[in-house]
Each structure stands twice: as structure tokens, then as C-alpha cells.
Amino acid sequence: MKKELLMASALVTTLGATSVAQAVTATMAGSMKVGAEFESPDSGVDTNNVSDLSNFNISLSETTDAGTTISTSFEIVDEGATTADDDNAIKLTFTDGSALELLNAGSAASTHVVAVPGAGGEQGITGTSVNQAPGDVDFGTAATVLGVEWHSAADFLADGLSMSASFSTDSGAAKAAAARLENSWGVGATYVTSAGDTALTIGGGIGAGEIANLNTQASADKSGFNIGVSAVTGDLTVGLGYGDGDTFVSSTAAGSNREVDGSVLKAGLSYVTGDITLALGVTSGEAKDGAFGTPGTSDDSSDSTSASVTYAVASGVSAVLGYTTVDRANDGASTTNGGSAWYVGATMSF
């Protein structure tokens, strides 16, 4: 409780320390994706469906008389079960370029994940819940909603360097049999430089958190690091990312929570020629999972390769043709949960 009161006091004090402007500036953006997906699983029958996805984002910001910018945003989305995304932080950007995010701040280790080019489209093959191989390099880092994140200004300590640090505490989630993240910390950094005609971005982070179920701290944890590099030369972009760490799977069934030790490698490239963008991406993840206190010994794995062609039809309008193939194994044994999928569709953005 003491942590929560101190954080609430800091929020009120920070917002009240300056004179807030009378009007808030609002900007909006969004997109509509419509396409058809065709799945061919290794087992079962081929399926096809229409993918109809939309999102609408509102960004709010205003600058105080003292020069501090206060901003936040929310998003309305239509992607099946998800209808809204309103977990954005209140962000204070100061005159020196540094910033502080309050509440829903996230993990600094995730903030500095380097973007690796990947295929466009909405194609994919649904796997099984027993396969715990990760697909994102920051799978080992997370934060509760009751958190803060600090961002340095650009060129912090050295030209091209920026850094972040985050901390979150107990969100007050129900003390149930399902395991939950209790608190977290994270740090991250990005360095931007050049080598001849190539622009280089190197980034990564490290973070950790404690897990609890009921009122007991679990023997498992959530921790990890990620590192990546991206190189842009003319119209060609190449990227590589790697993540390693521990995470967990939460279950409401007593004794069914799982600890997971995994790693993932992502690589990709994209090339722009005229109105056409060609993209290729590969992801290889593996993990060992077991009951809390009993580390797994056999690997789950998931390997995917995706490619796409995107054509800029008009301003804000693009057509996409994408393909993905996936191979999976569970506890060291090959499974029939892989397959391939095609997607053809269009996106309109504003």
C-alpha cells in the first residue's frame, strides 16, 4: 500500500506543479484492412475466411506554460474479441527532451526492441496451447499497470544514444490460483550511427519481475534480455533480433501454472522498388516448460518463414499478398500443428 500511495502522490504533484493550458490538441489516425486468408494445416481440412480489421486512434496532447507536454492516447479496434485498447500512459515530455510515463508505462526493455522487417498480411497457422515456444524477442519482460517509465533525451551521454528505465509494482490483481506478475523493473538503450552509406540501429534491454499466485511468491520468475540490429542502405533494410529468458503460463486450475525457459531468433529484410515493397522474415523459437519448481527438459519449437509483396495503389491505399509456413514440435516430438497460409487483401490508412 505504501508504494501505491507514493506513486499516486507523485502523479498528483507532477500534474499540479505546472499551469495546464486551456485546450487539448487532438489528432487521429486509423486504418481498415479487408482480405481473405487461406489456411492449409498439416492436419485437418483447408479453411478460408475473410479478415476484416479496423482501428481508430486518438492522440491527445497539450503543452503547459512551463513547456512540459502532457500527452496520452487511446485506440478503438475491431479485431475479433478485442474492442478497445486504452492502456496508454500519461506521458510528460520536458523541455530538455526527456520524458516520464505514468501508469500503464510498460517495460523499458520492450521500448528499445529493434524493429526487424517482416512480411505483411494477416496470414497465420493456429498452434496448440501446449507449445510454449516464444515468438517475440521481449517475451521475458513485462510490467504491471501501476508503473512508471523514464526516457532520456536524444544523444544522452553520447551522440546517437537514448536510454529508458522502468519500474512497476503490485497492480492489486486478485490473489487467485492463476499466477500473476507482481512487480517488475527494466532498462533499455538504443544507439543510432552510420557506417558509410548504411544507417545502423543497435538496441536492446534487460528486465525482470516477480511472480505470485494466491499470496505466495512463486519459485518461477519472469526475466530476460533482448538485443537487435537494423541496417538501412538505400531501399534495402536488414534486421536481426534475439531474445532469451524466462516467463510463465497462468492457469486457474490449481497446480497447472507453468514456468517456461526459452529463446527466440528473428531475422528479416525488406526492399522497396518503386511502388512495390518486398519483405521476407523468419522466426525460430524454442522453450522448455514445466510445473513451477520443476524445469522442463524437452524442447517445444516453432519455426516460421513469411514473405509478402505490398503494392502502393494510391496515397494511403495498399494491396498485400502474403504467405507463411510454420513447423512446430512439442516436447521434442514433431507435431501436426504446423502448415501454411496465404493472404490477399487491401489496407486503407489515414
Which residues make Cβ contacts (< 8 Å) with residue 276, sequence separation at least 6? 309, 310, 311, 312
Residue 217: count other Cβ atoms within 10 Å of its Cβ: 11
Q: What pLDDT does residue 153 have?
A: 95
Q: Distance from CA of residue 201 to its chain's centroid?
A: 18
Q: What pLDDT does residue 271 have?
A: 98
Q: What pLDDT does residue 177 have?
A: 81
Task: Confirm if 341 and 37 have CB atoms less than 8 A apart.
Answer: yes
Q: What pLDDT does residue 6 have?
A: 44
Task: Record the pTM.
Answer: 0.84
Q: What pLDDT does residue 18 have?
A: 46
Cα 135 to Cα 113: distance, rounded to the nearest angstrom = 13
Beta strands 25-41 and 90-93 are unpaired
How many helices (H) and strands (E) the chain has is answered by 2, 18
Q: What pLDDT does residue 86 have?
A: 57
Q: What pLDDT does residue 2 have?
A: 46
Q: What pLDDT does residue 7 have?
A: 45
Q: What pLDDT does residue 8 have?
A: 45
Which residues make Cβ contacts (< 8 Å) with residue 211, sequence separation at least 6? 179, 180, 181, 182, 217, 218, 220, 221, 222, 248
User: Model confidence over 12-65: pLDDT tens digits?
Assistant: 444 544 444 457 899 999 999 999 999 998 887 888 999 888 989 999 999 999
Q: What pLDDT does residue 74 have?
A: 85
Which residues make Cβ contacts (< 8 Å) with residue 2, sequence separation at least 6? none
DSSP string for residues in 202-229: EEEEEEEEEEEETTEEEEEEEEEEEEEE
Q: What pLDDT does residue 85 have?
A: 55
Q: What grid cell was written down for 120?
A: 505483411
Q: What pLDDT does residue 318 have?
A: 97
Which stretches of the chain drop beneath a pLDDT of 70?
Answer: 1-22, 79-87, 127-128, 215, 254
> 2-349 belongs to which CATH class?
mainly beta
